[in-house]
Amino acid sequence: MARFQPFVMERMMSKFEKAVEYNLSESGVHPVTFKELIQGVPGALDRLLATEMDYAHANGIPELRRNIAALYAGAGPENVLVTVGAIEANYDILAALVAPGDEIVVMLPNYMQIWGMAKNLRADLKTFPLAEKFGWKPDLDKLRKAVTKKTKLIAVCNPNNPSGYILTREEMEAVVETARKAKAWILADEVYAGAERVAEEETPSFYGMYEKVLAVGSLSKAYGLPGLRAGWVVGPAKIVDRIWARHEYITLSVSMLSNHLAAIALSPEVRPRLIRRARQYIRRGYPVLEEWMKGQGDIFSLTPPQAAAIAFVRYKLKVNSTKLAARLREEKSVLIVPGDHFGLDHHLRISFGLPHEILRPALGRIRDLFVELRK
């Protein structure tokens, strides 16, 4: 059997997120209820009750594709493929574009799906870093060095998981310029766009900056709807059709109910309410995390995340992050993601986009473990 690179973080979360008392491993905000989603939307319940449990359009119902396309300047429904979460969008894109031996360049740290898939596809994997010592700014020289004429695809995550860094316009242009020179595709995973902590402006998409961009989005993070399992890719119609051909092999379509609920979520009437809600969780949760960090002396340091509901905190103890996370889980029933999962030990990824009554006691338990470790 071929060597297989497991998705280490998702394996850990799949196994333990429902088993612990406090789950601080999620990167999105506290989830929306069905009631909250459809409340105040005229006719929504009747519409759902009347929906036939048929196969949906394999590429997404037209209303949903129209609502998604409206988020990207210059895009139409023919540019959109609806997938089972952003995770399927990323998967299908790689399946369509990357063959064994193809060179791909991935931003690190990152949600490690594309990194792991590149290994499983036997691609020639190169990376470029976001530099923590420069507030997680991308090292563009390293990007330029990594990209060659053979580079097929450059994968970025903006806003970034786990650092919450948002690329500046100049940095985005530099990525585009580098890709253009190599005629490489840009896979822009933009699932945290809309979940900005400080800025009011939504993070702009790479879509429209260059003709070879595939922009990936999802309802899981900025909309608080991970359980709908609805994501998408937006790109040139011809290549979206090729990606769709992979989608047919693996999921065929997103469920009919999810298609309708996603269309409601992304309607101009509901979308602003969901974005406001996510930002509220992020903006109210962050000061609690910050205050908690200050209460631990100088053990923690953090570049404040500009977006997403996660903080990638560095700690000063000589304890490995995987071991620390395991103790936290076993002894305190709290799940967080160890820095090891991003190739950066001595960090912890901690969610904070949660109600205070969950966040405060969970952080209290992490503090208790750190008190014990320091003794």
Ligand X SMILES: Cc1ncc(COP(=O)(O)O)c(C=O)c1O
- The Cα angle at residue 361 between residues 196 and 307, in degrees rounded to 5: 10
Residue of 25, 151, 158, 161 interacting with ligand X (CB under 6 A):
161
Q: Quick one: 107 or 182, whose CB is closer to ligand X? A: 107
Shortest spacing between CB 85 and ligand X, in angstroms: 2
End-to-end CA distance of the chain: 47
Residue closer to ligand X, measured from CB, 56 or 191: 191
Query: Which of 29, 75, 81, 87 is the binder for ligand X (CB under 6 A)?
Result: 87
CB nearer to ligand X: give 157 or 186.
157
Q: Which is nearer to ligand X, 12 or 182 (CB)?
A: 12
Contact 97, 246 (CB under 8 A): no
The binder of ligand X chosen from 164, 194, 226, 305 (CB under 6 A): 226
Residues 6 or more apart in contact with residue 338 via CB below 8 angstroms: 320, 321, 322, 324, 325, 345, 347, 348, 349
User: Based on CB atoms, which residue is closest to ligand X, 77 or 164?
Assistant: 164
Q: Which of residues 90-129 bind ligand X (CB under 6 A)?
A: 111
Q: How far is the CB of 221 from ligand X (least distance, A)?
A: 7
Q: Which is nearer to ligand X, 85 or 164 (CB)?
A: 85
Contact 348, 68 (CB under 8 A): no
Query: Does 209 sit near ligand X (CB under 6 A)?
Result: no
Candidates 82, 86, 172, 359: give the one binding ligand X (CB under 6 A): 86
Annotate 269-323 with DSSP letters as a single string: TTHHHHHHHHHHHHHHHHHHHHHHHHTTTTSEE-PPPSBSSEEEEEE-SSS-HHH
Calpha distance 99→213 (Å, rounded): 18
- In the list 60, 109, 224, 231, the residue contacting ligand X (rule: CB under 6 A) is 231
* Closer residue to ligand X (CB): 27 or 163: 27
What distance lies between CA 237 and its chain's CA centroid? Answer: 24
Among 158, 203, 218, 259, binds ligand X (CB under 6 A): 218
State the minimum distance, in angstroms, from the CB of residue 152 to ligand X: 20
Cβ–Cβ < 8 Å for 41, 270 = yes
Does position 224 interact with ligand X (CB under 6 A)? The reply is no
> Cβ of residue 187: shortest distance to ligand X, in angstroms?
10
Identified binder of ligand X from the candidate list 220, 259, 306, 321, rule CB under 6 A: 220
| Binding to ligand X in span 42-71, by CB under 6 A | none
Residue with smaller CB distance to ligand X, 59 or 218: 218
Minimum CB separation of residue 113 from ligand X in Å reads 6
How far apart CA 152 and CA 27 sit, in angstroms, is 29
Count the site residues for ligand X by CB under 6 A: 13
* Nearest CB to ligand X, comparing residues 113 and 321: 113
- Closest separation in Å from C-beta 360 to ligand X: 24
Closest by CA to 185, choosing from 173, 175, 197, 200, is 175
Question: Minimal CA–CA distance to 302: which of 160, 130, 135?
Answer: 135
Which of the residues 168 through 197 are near ligand X (CB under 6 A)? 189, 191
- Cβ atoms 312, 352 nearer than 8 A: no
CA–CA dist 57, 59 (Å, integer): 5
Under rule CB under 6 A, which residues in 66-85 are in contact with ligand X?
85
Between 27 and 178, CB nearer to ligand X: 27
Q: Per CB under 6 A, does 157 bind ligand X?
A: yes
The amino acid that residue 199 corresponds to is: A
Strand locations in the chain (E): 22-23, 80-83, 103-108, 124-131, 137-138, 151-157, 185-189, 213-218, 231-234, 300-301, 310-315, 334-335, 337-338, 347-351
Q: Which residues contact 375 (CB under 8 A, 6 or more apart)?
A: none
Using CB under 6 A, list all residues that contact ligand X.
27, 85-87, 111, 157, 161, 189, 191, 218, 220, 226, 231
